[in-house]
A and B are shown apart, each in its own frame.
Chain A
Amino acid sequence: MSETKREVRAGFIPLVDCAPLVIAAEHGFAEAEGLDLKLSRETSWATIRDKLAVSHFDAAHILAPMPIAANLGLGPLPTPMLVPMALGTGANTVTVSNALWQELIRHLDRIDFSAAPAVTALASVVRDRGRQGAPPLQLGIVHPHSAHHYELAYWLSSGGIVAGQDVELVVVPPSLMPAALANAHIDGFCAGEPWGTVASSERVGVILTTNAHIWRNSPEKVLGLRLDWAQRDPQGVEALVRAVYSAAVWCDQPGNQDELAAILAREAYLGQSVDVIRPCLARRLRAGDGALHPIDGFLNFASNTATFPWISHALWFYTQMVRLGQTLHSEAALHAARSTYRPDIYRSALQPLDVELPSVNTKVEGALHGKAPAGSTRGNLSLGPDAFFDGKVFDPDRLEDYLASLPDTSS
């Protein structure tokens, strides 16, 4: 290609799900789209957001709820953003300290990451500690506006545990979680891979459950774009979406796992040993019994419509923001959350690639316990599973009913 390449600057946090951006830059996918994709590793989500805000970055690997929060005017320096695609599903673990694990196994009759028995066991431990006058457990999350926070609080509340009351939530950067666990600053955490596997391989913690068990194929990170950049260069946006999509497809192929692990292990990206990255890519995790267990659907880079920006995902996050008191429910707020996700851009960008796309932009979340055929561009797509572990269903058309059905923890 002889013409000058468009420069796109993107930030990322060292986590396994930054892989599609890394591979887009490293494997020629960005170049093939006429892009010069420059990546910058950052240490906090706040810095990702700030560098987007002052135009140091055009795009970023970002927590899915963060662009929604920005458009709702929450947090410092909220800058209008849009989300043209998701960066995969899954790959989060709930990992607990060895001491807490010893208390939990007394209440567990099997060790298989199942979310329901895990939270029942945790609730028993929390009650025991309350009776003994022990201080509340401290659980680490990565950011208040994160899927980790919302899914953890959702899971806890189903066990009757109120986050912030029965257990305390503290923010810890993902890479510092294993050390915080080892130093007993926290009793458990919810964070993206490889940090659960790092804690488990350093024998400072045990993986209790995962977000794939709490909500099958649940959303995690997205490609966040600064709105003014996206409006100035729509062709650049579409080229970026195609490059990252093609890279995500590459990342999902089992034959590429070794190479992907080796690239992610580099100092410029995760700076971690291949040994702690490989298991997650192979969709395996070490459980409390010491064995590596395969987990169906633990991580999807592209398969199962993992890059599609489902409006229903954005709206589920919105309901949790309302439930946790981060924002007040209003028509305007609902509109801001809904319009953050832009499946129209995704569709338009991928048109030249002839990809099978769902025929709708929103779905009822939690309805599918297995795969089911769905309406699509060529009639050959199946969706799901997308079930919540407690069997509840979120119908975006009945959002207020759903809000009313959730336990209120906002006051």
Chain B
Amino acid sequence: MNKYVGLPSLCAAHKMRPMSDKPLHILIIDENRIRASIIEDGLSGAGDVRVTILDATGQLLRRIVAIDPDVIFIDLENPNRDLLEHMFDVSRAVKRPVAMFVDRSDQASIEAAIEAGVSAYVVDGLKKERVHSILETAVVRFNAFERLKRELEDARSELADRKTIERAKAILMRTRGIAEPEAYALLRKTAMNQNRRIAEIAESLVMAAGMLGEEGGK
């Protein structure tokens, strides 16, 4: 009857287990350890749940069977999604369907999840409202991670801008024999006149100086 790897044990486990009086077991499959931790942290505050994180890809199916989760969250970009769906496709044949997201008709939560880059697989037979709030938490956490990543990138480029401006000032001070406040004023005035950012003007200057061999002494 079961034609594919590992499934008999998965199905047997679900048949024997009472669904109601156990904490919800949530599996997060994510190769990004930091994001997984952020989601785990959020879900742990969501009441009676147990969270497991899987980051490696090898033998995924066997490991999921062993973990036996109620809900699976997986990064939308994870290529192993097709493997998961195969498992669920086969489980259809043993009359234990698995639904994606909370409810196929709940278009808004599906869109929010895909927007955030998370996909969710929910084992049938669970309390819908409970899973719904958990999905919402996961989506919020995915978005929080994205925001964090963006902020980090912004901070990095801000730091790089500041370094470039310092170098441009040093070039101006050396080549034109002016003091630091004048050098900065000159950069700012040029930026305003050309309607560009100071960092962009500084970058052009550093590049030009480099080509003209002006930056030699640093």
Contact = CB atoms under 8 A, between A and B. Distances in A.
B114 A51 contact: yes
Contact of A171 (B58, B78, B83): B83
Contact of A163 (B3, B79, B101): B3
Contacts of B88: 75-76
Interface string A137-152: 0100011110000000
A272 interface: no
Nearest to A172: B83
28 contacts: A43-B78, A46-B84, A46-B85, A47-B76, A50-B110, A54-B110, A75-B85, A76-B101, A76-B104, A76-B121, A78-B104, A143-B82, A143-B85, A144-B90, A145-B89, A164-B4, A169-B3, A170-B86, A171-B86, A173-B79, A173-B82, A175-B79, A176-B79, A183-B58, A185-B58, A325-B93, A326-B89, A411-B1
Decide if the interface of chain A is mainly helix, strand, loop or mixed: loop
A165 B93 CA distance: 15
A53 interface: yes
Given A47-B76, A47-B77, A173-B80, A144 B107 contact: no
A44 B81 contact: yes
A56 interface: yes
Nearest to A45: B82
Interface in B46-69: 57-59, 61
B4 A77 contact: no
Contacts of B58: 183, 185
Contact of A54 (B79, B80, B90, B111): B111
Interface of A: 43-47, 50-51, 53-54, 56, 74-78, 138, 142-145, 163-165, 168-173, 175-176, 183, 185, 325-326, 409, 411
A83 B90 CA distance: 26
Nearest to A55: B111
B100 interface: yes
A81 to B, nearest CB: 15
A170 B79 CA distance: 14
A64 B111 CA distance: 25
B119 interface: yes
B146 to A, nearest CB: 16
A106 B1 CA distance: 33
B99 interface: yes
A78 B105 CA distance: 11
B101 A44 contact: no
Contact of B110 (A53, A175, A326, A409): A53
A76 B99 contact: yes
B4 A169 contact: yes
Interface in B97-124: 98-101, 104, 107, 110-111, 114, 119, 121
A50 B76 contact: yes
B5 interface: yes
Closest 3 CB pairs of A and B: A164-B3, A76-B100, A173-B79
A244 to B, nearest CB: 24
- In the complex, which of the residues A46, A78, A164, A175 has the most CB atoms of chain B within 10 Å of its own CB atom? A46
A43 B119 CA distance: 13
A179 to B, nearest CB: 10
B59 A54 contact: no
A175 B107 CA distance: 31
B93 A144 contact: no
Nearest to A169: B4
State which size class the interface on B falls in.
35 or more
Contacts of A185: 58-59
B107 A54 contact: yes
A45 B101 CA distance: 17
Nearest to A77: B100
B169 to A, nearest CB: 37
Contacts of B99: 76
Contact of B82 (A46, A163, A164): A46
B78 A44 contact: yes
Contacts of B5: 138, 168, 170
B114 A43 contact: no
Nearest to B99: A76
A172 B101 CA distance: 22
A15 B104 CA distance: 30
Given A77-B100, A168-B4, A175-B79, A50 B119 contact: yes
Contact of B81 (A47, A54, A138, A326): A47
A262 B43 CA distance: 46
Nearest to B114: A54
Given A50-B114, A165-B3, A168-B4, A43 B79 contact: yes
A170 B89 CA distance: 12
A127 to B, nearest CB: 19
Nearest to A73: B104
Nearest to B87: A171
B86 to A, nearest CB: 4
B110 A170 contact: no
A144 B82 CA distance: 9
Nearest to B61: A170
A63 to B, nearest CB: 10
A340 B81 CA distance: 25
Interface in B1-17: 1, 3-5
Contacts of B61: 170
A145 B85 CA distance: 10
A333 to B, nearest CB: 15
Contacts of A56: 114
A76 B85 contact: yes
Nearest to A53: B110
Contacts of A51: 114
